[in-house]
Amino acid sequence: MVTAVAHTNIALIKYWGKRDANLIIPYTGSLSLTLDQFYTETSVNFDQNLDRDEVSIDDQSAANNSWQRVHDFLEIVREKSGAHLNAKVVSRNHVPTAAGLASSASAFAALAAAASKAAGMNLNNQELSRLARRGSGSACRSIFGGFVEWQRGTDDADSYAVPIDTPHLSDIRVVALTIEKHQKPISSRRGMALSVTTSPYYPTWVKVVESDLQSIKSAINQDDFTRFGTISELNAMRMHALTLSSDPDFLYFNGSTLDAMNEVKRLRHSGIECYYTIDAGPNVKVICQTKNVKEITTTFSKLFGPDKVIVAQPGPGIKYL
């Protein structure tokens, strides 16, 4: 049995849309920050005594759709490794599932690491990133710690994530507001497909992301927090504009999401520099620096309750227990 731990990541330049849905090749590159506070721990054991894959998530047997996704991923591992036994998978999420906090990123990164090693494969991080991508696109970024870029590539061989090694912008904190812990009504996969096929603005999104990606890497290299935060916030809003312009239109925000966004703007205008980003869910992540964490956490603890406010910082890459 092999146990692996992977941390979730926050997308700063968003991944939204697949060029190849089977291989999960994106239309654009993306950039993220791995976080220390949210992670998944997964154990995998290939066992000749099992007549089917057994999957437990948070101490409960996986439901049909969840079981199928894990089983399909294990089939890829079996095909690549030649180990054709069924597996027992035990996974525990230390992050709300399917609520826009990238639980699938940490889940499939941990599964890729544990399953591949349990099947006798000895993958390097690039190979592991390519494998994790097959389970969930954003999982390819959770193989690495800190800032990570997913290079979109054109096929299975060249679409993978790489770490951005830089001494700059190390003073980054993310105040996560867990506004809603329930599963979102529209999955990221379905939402992406709708946006790609029905939003008239999708071709423009592809061009804009390439520009945003270059701009944010420049901001990181120049240690420019203001530019970094501004680009992150704007890119998030551009992604959500795709959901509003899809047919049918859909929205991941709720009333509390809007309250949080407005509060971030109020704080910023009062001299507390911070920026928001939001993935496919109602939960808001506030990007700031250490000096402003106390004021921001106090503000949002009063607004939503202290149990909804979690302070995170850059987290590590994949590790084995």
CATH code of the domain containing 189: 3.30.70.890
Residue the block writes with tokens 């956490």: 297
Residue the block writes with tokens 């910023």: 268
Please say which residue of 137, 167, 197 terminates a domain: 167
How many CA atoms within 13 Å lie on the side-chain side of 235? 31
Q: For residue 73, give the nearest of 99, 96, 97, 104 by alpha carbon.
A: 104
- Position 320 in a domain: no
- Could you give the angle at the alpha carbon of 143 between the alpha carbons of 164 and 310, nearest 5°? 85
Q: For residue 13, give the nearest of 214, 284, 186, 226 by alpha carbon.
A: 214
Q: Do 159 and 180 lie in a common domain?
A: no
* pLDDT (tens place) for every residue of the chain, 321 residues total: 999 999 999 999 999 999 999 999 999 999 999 999 999 999 999 999 999 999 999 999 998 889 999 999 999 999 999 989 999 999 999 876 544 565 889 999 999 999 999 999 999 999 999 999 999 999 999 999 999 999 999 999 999 999 998 877 889 999 999 887 777 778 888 999 999 999 999 999 999 999 999 999 999 999 999 999 999 999 999 999 999 999 999 999 999 999 999 999 999 999 999 999 999 989 999 999 999 999 999 999 999 999 999 999 999 999 999
Q: Do 137 and 41 lie in a common domain?
A: yes
How many domains are contained in the chain?
2
Q: Do 194 and 233 lie in a common domain?
A: yes
Please say which residue of 152, 167, 182 terminates a domain: 167
CA distances 240 to 15, 33, 137, Å, are: 12, 19, 18
Q: Do 129 and 74 lie in a common domain?
A: yes
pTM of the model: 0.93
What CATH number does residue 15 fall under?
3.30.230.10
Asked if 99 and 4 touch (Cβ cutoff 8 Å), the reply is: no
